[in-house]
A = this chain, B = another copy of it.
């Protein structure tokens, strides 16, 4: 583990690229996070330790950490330290799920796996996952129920070369939220996602799985989730019943 992470404060030959010190520190921190030097849920070194390691002032490290914390990659806890984000804490499980009950109450959730297969990536999926159509993907289908009522039909696509050894049995035995499971079992941290939302009519399959009539309006949510380096790691299409739930969003 070489520790020669020094940085030159002012680079005299700035051909085209000038980047402030704290941005360079941020890149170094991201590299360590991506490489797993500190795992989800663990503390990273203190600001003073990092300042010594990178040969900069505490304030500069602070600004780098501030930005990573603003992006939810790190979590600061006064008096305790700075920790790597995780999907595995009660408070932030289902962090990416925007579907919310119309009344405030917290529903019980359960998941049933209804499909699992490996196949060559369909063109559309390959494009979104930055794969070729000769690469293998894993397809998982499941139904999420809230208070025992089927509410979400998910169709999930993962790159097989990353999720090595993921099997039908494994996914059936897993009881954690998927993203928490991915962190612990496959070392994949989902950091960010883009969603496209539409209204569609339930087809025969969706109607059967969600116990609604064919043609019922459903919310279709297409998600691409990314890990470090903006690398896409999951494509997911969800069909949501929205008669007693809504997709919430905040604009600013």
Contacts and interface: CB of A to CB of B under 8 A. Distances in A.
Interface of A: 70-72, 95-96, 98, 191-201, 215, 217-220, 222-223, 240, 242-243, 246-252
A197 B247 contact: yes
Contact of A252 (B191, B249, B252): B191
A3 to B, nearest CB: 31
Nearest to A242: B198
A192 B251 contact: yes
Interface centre among A95, A98, A217, A222 (most CB of B within 10 A): A217
A72 B196 contact: no
Contact of A217 (B70, B72, B201): B201
Given A196-B248, A199-B218, 6 more contacts: A192-B251, A194-B251, A195-B250, A200-B217, A215-B215, A222-B246
B98 A199 contact: no
A26 B190 CA distance: 34
Nearest to A215: B215
A96 B98 CA distance: 18
Contacts of A201: 217
Nearest to A241: B199
Nearest to A190: B251
Contacts of A242: 197-200
Given A70-B70, A197-B197, A246-B198, A98 B251 contact: yes
A98 B250 CA distance: 11
Interface centre among A96, A196, A199, A220 (most CB of B within 10 A): A199
A197 B245 CA distance: 9
A252 B192 contact: yes
Contact of A219 (B194, B198, B223, B248): B198
A69 to B, nearest CB: 12
A192 B251 CA distance: 6
Across the A-B interface, give the 5 residue pairs with the lowest CB-CB distance, nearest first: A217-B217, A199-B217, A199-B199, A197-B247, A198-B242
A75 to B, nearest CB: 13
Contacts of A249: 98, 194-197, 249
25 contacts: A71-B252, A72-B252, A191-B252, A192-B250, A192-B251, A192-B252, A193-B252, A194-B248, A194-B249, A195-B248, A195-B249, A196-B247, A197-B219, A197-B246, A198-B242, A198-B247, A199-B199, A199-B218, A199-B219, A199-B220, A199-B242, A215-B215, A217-B217, A222-B246, A223-B251
